[in-house]
């Protein structure tokens, strides 16, 4: 089965995760895809297959040589983003893309345009898989799953390529930051692994944001507005003050590359009470700590301006930059860079402006950089992926396996 056919099969499964759920997987429908993959893996003849009650699926492609070759792994996640529906996805292949606008949904006037997404122009002449404009596509991360499965099948069909033991894993709930929470690194049994969860072709990432979530709760005092002088404390106005005291140019819409940000993700309020929800991100550990301290400083200032306890700040650490774990082991990065180069792609080594399962796995003892899966505009109706990028990702996996064996 080709990587395209696998991908089209996998996106037919609705696997949205749910950030409000207390279970793992956060949605039972993720298990449906895991069960289908388990059946496919069994038919391929892989060994040491396990699927636990939390939808963590692992398997082994045994070595075909007596040489002592380091065991490496490849990982992708089952779930799609809660940001948009992944139910009843209707993918369409636009063959030999001509560089013009692609009408995704004429009725809803949804158009994928190079004027809004200029990266489309880098894929003229390629075959592009798009949505019908009513759902996300699911390339994040079903493209990664399809690429890993296709690469393993290629290695099965080409036994002349010598390789060591290869482990593969598909996990739930990456999109809600819980993908590595119940991942058994010891059971997986690899020296290192790669997540196939990046975007544009050529991407290789081993740096991600340090991340925290912050909730600001504000207590006001509601009094009849006709008699409120020197009595009323308007929680919503204090919330607006809080938001205004953070640097306006350090928001996601004004930042790129290594620049961090404060992102106001939610705001509710009345006179009596108000709540602000933030995510805080920075690649630099010191700058990240300064960001968290600024939130505390603003909280302290407003409590002095009004009264102690008016503003309450809760900070939850989410994940850390895996660079400190992966960078000292440059051979892991160099192996991937060489593989990408040898299949005719320019490696794009860049920081992830987000998180990845690989970050948490790295801190659990499994160094785990991230390699492109080929998709763009994740999490929404404008998501798309070039067929040729998926095919190249398959070749990169095969080449990594081959190069790893050649080291011994």
Active site residues: 79, 174
Torsion angle (degrees, nearest 10) of CA 130, 134, 140, 141: -100
Give 370's strand partners: 195, 205
Supply the angle between the helices 330-342 and 387-406 in degrees, to the nearest 10.
130
The helix or strand, by DSSP H or E, that contains position 214, with its residue range, turns out to be: strand 210-219
Please report where in the chains the tokens 């992708």 appear, as a residue: 76
DSSP reduced 3-state for 290: helix
Cross-sheet strand order for the sheet of 192-198: 47-51, 57-61, 166-171, 72-77, 192-198, 370-372, 203-205, 348-349
Beta carbons of 361 and 369 less than 8 angstroms apart: no
Please report where in the chains the tokens 């890993």 appear, as a residue: 148
Structure tokens of 298? 């603003």
Q: What is the DSSP letter of 28?
A: T
Structure tokens of 227? 């008699």
Spell 208-241 as b/e; 16+ CB within 10 A means b.
bbbbbbbebebbbeeeeeeeeeeeebbbbebbeb
Q: Tell which residue, 141, 163, 148, has the closest CA to residue 393.
A: 148
């Amino acid at each position: 089965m080709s990587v395209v056919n696998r991908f089209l099969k996998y996106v037919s499964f609705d696997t949205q995760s749910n950030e409000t759920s207390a279970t793992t997987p956060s949605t039972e429908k993720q298990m449906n895809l895991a069960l289908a993959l388990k059946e496919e893996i069994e038919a391929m003849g892989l060994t040491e297959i396990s699927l636990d009650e939390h939808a963590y699926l692992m398997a082994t492609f045994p070595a075909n040589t007596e040489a002592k070759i380091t065991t490496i792994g490849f990982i992708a996640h089952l779930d799609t983003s809660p940001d948009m529906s992944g139910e009843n996805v209707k993918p369409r292949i636009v063959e030999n893309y001509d560089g013009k606008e692609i009408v995704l949904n004429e009725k809803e006037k949804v158009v994928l345009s190079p004027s809004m997404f200029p990266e489309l122009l880098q894929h003229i002449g390629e075959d592009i898989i798009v949505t019908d404009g009513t759902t996300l596509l699911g390339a994040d991360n079903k493209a990664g799953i399809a690429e890993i499965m296709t690469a393993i099948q290629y290695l099965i069909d080409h036994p002349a390529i010598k390789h060591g033991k290869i482990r593969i894993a598909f996990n739930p709930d990456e999109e809600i930051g819980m993908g590595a929470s119940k991942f058994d690194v010891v059971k997986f049994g690899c020296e290192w692994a790669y997540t196939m969860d990046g975007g544009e072709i050529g991407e290789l990432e081993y740096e991600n944001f340090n991340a925290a979530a912050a909730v600001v709760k504000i207590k006001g005092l509601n009094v009849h507005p006709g008699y409120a002088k020197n009595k009323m404390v308007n929680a919503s106005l204090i919330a607006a003050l809080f938001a205004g005291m953070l640097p306006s140019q350090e928001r996601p819409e004004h930042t790129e590359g290594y620049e961090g940000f404060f992102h106001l993700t939610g705001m509710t309020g009345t006179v009596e009470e108000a709540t602000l929800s933030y995510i805080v991100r920075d690649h630099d550990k010191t700058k990240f700590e300064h960001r968290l301290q600024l939130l505390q400083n603003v909280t302290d200032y407003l409590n002095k301006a009004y009264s102690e306890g008016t503003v309450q700040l809760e900070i939850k650490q989410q994940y850390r930059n895996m660079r400190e774990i992966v960078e000292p082991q440059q051979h892991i990065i160099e192996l991937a860079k060489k593989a990408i180069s040898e299949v005719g792609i320019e490696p794009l080594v860049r920081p992830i402006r987000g998180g990845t399962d690989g970050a948490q796995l790295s801190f659990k003892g499994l160094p785990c950089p991230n390699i492109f899966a080929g998709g763009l505009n994740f999490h929404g109706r404008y998501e798309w992926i070039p067929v040729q990028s998926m095919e190249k990702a398959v070749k990169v996996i095969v080449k990594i396996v081959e190069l790893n064996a050649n080291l011994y």
